[in-house]
Amino acid sequence: MKWLTFCAAALACLAAAHAQSLTGRWAGNGSTTDNGMEIVVALNQGADGRITGYVLGRSQDTITDGKIEDGKITLEAERPGRNGDTQKVTYTAVIEDGKLKLTMPMFGGGRGPGRGPAGTPGAAPGTPPAAAAAPGRSPGGGRGPQVFELARVSTEVPKPLPPKPAAVSLSFPAPVKSNGLAKTPPMGWNSWNKFSNRVSDQMVREMADAFVKSGMRDAGYIYVNIDDTWEGAHRDAHGNITTNNKFPDMKALADYVHSKGLKLGIYSSPGPKTCAGYEGSYQHEEQDAKTYASWGIDYLKYDWCSASQVYDNTQATMAAAYAKMGEALEHSGRNIVYSLCQYGNLDVGEWGARVSGNLWRTTGDIRDTWASMSHIGFDLQPGREKYAGTGHWNDPDMLEIGNGGMTEIEYQTHMSLWSLLAAPLLAGNDLRDMKPEVAAILMNKEVIAIDQDSPGKQGVRVAKDGDQEVWAKPLADGGYAVGLFNRGDAASKITAKWSDIGVTGTRKLRDLWKHQDLGSMSDSFSAEVPSHGVALVKIVK
């Protein structure tokens, strides 16, 4: 009898221990706004309480160590980075009503020492983008860390993940025929900077309406670009890419956008997953390009992201991976502008045009701050001008004008500098609700004309004295656009010397922000420039 009681007690104990054990698989939907991503957490809790396992979601994270203390679960994990590196991340979780409530850290792992976004001073060259470090913005996550509710789908000890296949190496590709598009830097709008994963069919339609109503279309902004998070969780039975429930009918959306005299852009990755963890184009390049063409897509942003996990991250392989999609777009039967996004790594300027890229990012992700914008614009662009020209442009990332993190003066500097750089002008704000001063900056036709000057030459820094910089861009009509920039904290007088720019004699000048002729000047032009501001003038031929 005693023995039976003992056995019953032992069984009860075991059952209780089992009920509390976290071992097993937990699954749930990765986002509340779409049906795009399933998250699976596989846990194995040992007799000593230690937890190991993995998280499958935006990336494949290995849980190296975990514990539960006072009901609070902490999971230390390793996540593959976008440059083939490894990042350490910490998940926290609690069990509530039998569900695992998991707090997912921001993608990119925050801003650890030496790996800030390339948009901030101190970032190492080749630093992967860290959009997640942007205040209030994280790829696919919307706003900062996110909590997911996962239901238990099994109590079995999870099987280990299959070993990672060897990295794919490819040889440097033969040149891909140029598509002849983007004769001037592309102009339009992109959903990411302001909306991250909240972009939807409805929003894109409203934005297209706003392009027309605000005058943006007539000022030259044509591309309405959907960034990450439009993709479905899985391909269909034939391997075709699908949309998630935020985008019920991409073809109908393209028809709508086209009916407004605009063009529609989309986003993917050469890797199996996009940066926000959605379906990428790896091994489906031709098929996806054809799907885009059948929908009526006019522009593709192709973002390296998880490609770092399948390819060997050498220049030859990366160029070949981009060439694959370049070829696929060429065979798609439609004119599709090709935008490379690999954060300016591996000397992309040397090969971006050879893979038929019309533009390529030169840095990590921009943020809506003076530090980020000015570092990207002033510090990281010099030397790249030799790569820019008709049909192939350096892309210092999308505009933040109107997103609220900078002053009107700083946004004027942003617009002026991007135009002198012959950069793509992709607005990143909410066009449905634009303050007049923001509209005036984005639609300053005289500044846009500098950006779009054809045949395009990228402007260069011709003088630098501490916080004062003078940049000049030669124009097709023989004139020059000249920016006198003050990066300092106090207003100062800045002089642009003809000898630095390479002009002589007495020249007529026009102020492109004040829309005023300034008369004629000999040898130099001086202006009082506010802190973080610009005087942008045209030296007439």
- Which residues form the catalytic set? 303, 365
Q: How far apart are CA 485 and CA 61, in angstroms?
A: 45
Write out the binding residues for ligand GLA, residues 339-358 only, by CB under 6 A: 341
Pairing label, strands 480-486, 492-497: unpaired
If the CB atoms of residues 61 and 330 are measured against ligand GLA, the closer one turns out to be 61
Sheet strand arrangement including 263-268: 393-395, 359-361, 337-341, 299-303, 263-268, 223-225, 187-190, 425-427
Residues in 489-528 at the binding interface with ligand GLA, rule: CB under 6 A: none
Determine if 228 is a binding residue for ligand GLA (CB under 6 A): yes
Token duo for residue 84: 């083939």
Is 129 among the residues that bind ligand GLA (CB under 6 A)? yes
Q: If residue 87 lies in a helix (H) or strand (E), which one and from where to where? A: strand 86-96
To the nearest whole angstrom, how small is the minimum distance from the Cβ of residue 232 to ligand GLA? Answer: 16
The answer to whether 303 contacts ligand GLA (rule: CB under 6 A) is yes
Tell me which of 34, 61, 201, 227 binds ligand GLA, using CB under 6 A: 227
Contact 536/479 with Cβ under 8 angstroms? no
Burial class (CB in 10 A: 0-12, 13-18, 19+), 17: exposed
Interface map 191-210 toward ligand GLA (x if CB under 6 A): -x------------------
The window from 67-75, 93-101, 269-277, 478-486 that contacts ligand GLA (CB under 6 A) reads: 269-277
Residues 6+ positions from 160 with CB-CB distance below 8 Å: none
Q: Least distance to ligand GLA from the beta carbon of 505, Å?
A: 45
How many residues lie near ligand GLA (CB under 6 A)? Answer: 13
In angstroms, what CA-CA distances link 373 with 130, 411, 465, 514?
Answer: 14, 9, 20, 23
Q: Least distance in Å: CB of 278 to ligand GLA?
A: 8
Strands (E) located in 248-363: 263-268, 299-303, 337-341, 359-361
Closest to ligand GLA by CB, 288 or 365 = 365
Among 37, 226, 275, 462, contact with ligand GLA (rule: CB under 6 A): 275
Span from 65-73, 96-104, 273-281, 288-296 in contact with ligand GLA (CB under 6 A): 273-281
300 binds ligand GLA per the rule CB under 6 A: no
Q: Which one, 427 or 443, has the nearer CB to ligand GLA?
A: 427
The answer to whether 199 and 191 have CB atoms below 8 angstroms apart is yes
28 touching ligand GLA, by CB under 6 A? no
Amino acid symbol at 375: H
Q: Least distance from C-beta 58 to ligand GLA, angstroms? A: 9
Q: Quick check: 131 binds ligand GLA (CB under 6 A)?
A: yes
| C-alpha pair distances (Å), 458 with each of 222, 383, 445 | 21, 10, 18
Q: What are phi and psi for residue 319, nearest 5 degrees? A: -60, -40
Judged by CB, which is closer to ligand GLA: 228, or 288? Answer: 228
Q: Which residues bind ligand GLA (CB under 6 A)?
A: 129, 131, 139-140, 192, 227-228, 274-276, 303, 341, 365
